[in-house]
Structure 1
């Protein structure tokens, strides 16, 4: 049985349309696989962090203890830019990396800034205004207060006092489950 020329043309156009649709679907699938691969990479990185106490959830770790050399460089660059942009060089001494609490404050401030900047880029909102009001100025105020010994570093770095460890013998005395008189009963 011979197929007439018009029928061959119709089948050829239908095949070309099917091929074009397959190409579109293939591109969509390739994009989805790339997105999934990126998600797997992020989740793998998170799950490879050590867990505390044998549990499935990782024990929180200070930024300074988990930061890579690149993380430190990025934070230093960001802090330098922050101090320049907001003219805050008198507020944060250049030895800030030697002061653990200040490092954690600035790392958290940068993290909040990144989240606010990303949100503001996605939608027209007040995330950056909120960051200035609720993150930037309170953080700088804490760093400048006597709460951190960095304020004694205006003329060069000074080391902090030796930390006095917790007196572990007092824990049993203060434990509310043991009937500690310092805690009101329920």
Structure 2
């Protein structure tokens, strides 16, 4: 079974819509490939919204909960700009972004990672 879902249906080819990534089902190679794609979005996203290492530490990709949160944010953000998206969807993203950034800060605080130190999960 494919490891991506587009709006509730599985697909075998390229997608024009946002992807929902099922991280638990990816093998190591597919996970690394997806992390690379997500990383490109994270660079843009963190810069665009002025998020620092307290929300998204440099080692974000080594922490499952942080990866899941960021991946969900990317999916939500992409869905807001689809042709069939409603005009208020970007506002919904920003409403939920506040909660997501709070969760990211909480995760990062619990992890103990800093701008220069990565701590392995215990």
Looking at both structures, which has the greater relative contact order when contacts are Cα pairs under 8 Å and sequence separation is at least 6? Answer: 2
Give, in whole Å, the separation in 1 of the partners of 2:62 and 2:103: 17
Structure 1 residue 112 corresponds to structure 2 residue 76: yes
The structure with the largest alpha-carbon Rg is 1
Residue of 94, 97, 101 corresponding to 2:58: 94
Structure 1 residue 129 corresponds to structure 2 residue 91: yes
Partner of 1:63: 23
1:156: how far off?
A: 0.7
Partner of 1:143: 104
Partner of 1:85: 48
Distance change >3 Å, CA 98–CA 65, structure 1 → 2: farther
Query: TM-score by structure 1 length?
Result: 0.47
RMSD: 2.7
Give, in whole Å, the separation in 1 of the partners of 2:86 and 2:107: 38
**Could you say which structure has the higher strand fraction?**
2
1:116: how far off?
A: 1.1
Give, in whole Å, the separation in 1 of the partners of 2:73 and 2:50: 16
Structure 1 residue 76 corresponds to structure 2 residue 36: no
Distance change >3 Å, CA 147–CA 72, structure 1 → 2: closer
Aligned pair count reads 102
Gaps of 5+ in 1: 1-41, 47-60, 162-186
Would the aligned equivalents of 2:57 and 2:108 in 1 still touch at CA under 8 Å? no
Query: TM-score by structure 2 length?
Result: 0.69
Distance change >3 Å, CA 87–CA 78, structure 1 → 2: same
Gaps of 5+ in 2: 1-8, 14-20
Distance change >3 Å, CA 130–CA 81, structure 1 → 2: same
Give, in whole Å, the separation in 1 of the partners of 2:68 and 2:78: 15
* Residues 25-69 of structure 1: CA deviation (Å, up to 9, x unaligned): xxxxxxxxxxxxxxxxx85539xxxxxxxxxxxxxx842542724
**Could you say which structure has the higher helix fraction?**
1
Partner of 2:18: none
Give, in whole Å, the separation in 2 of the partners of 1:45 and 1:74: 18
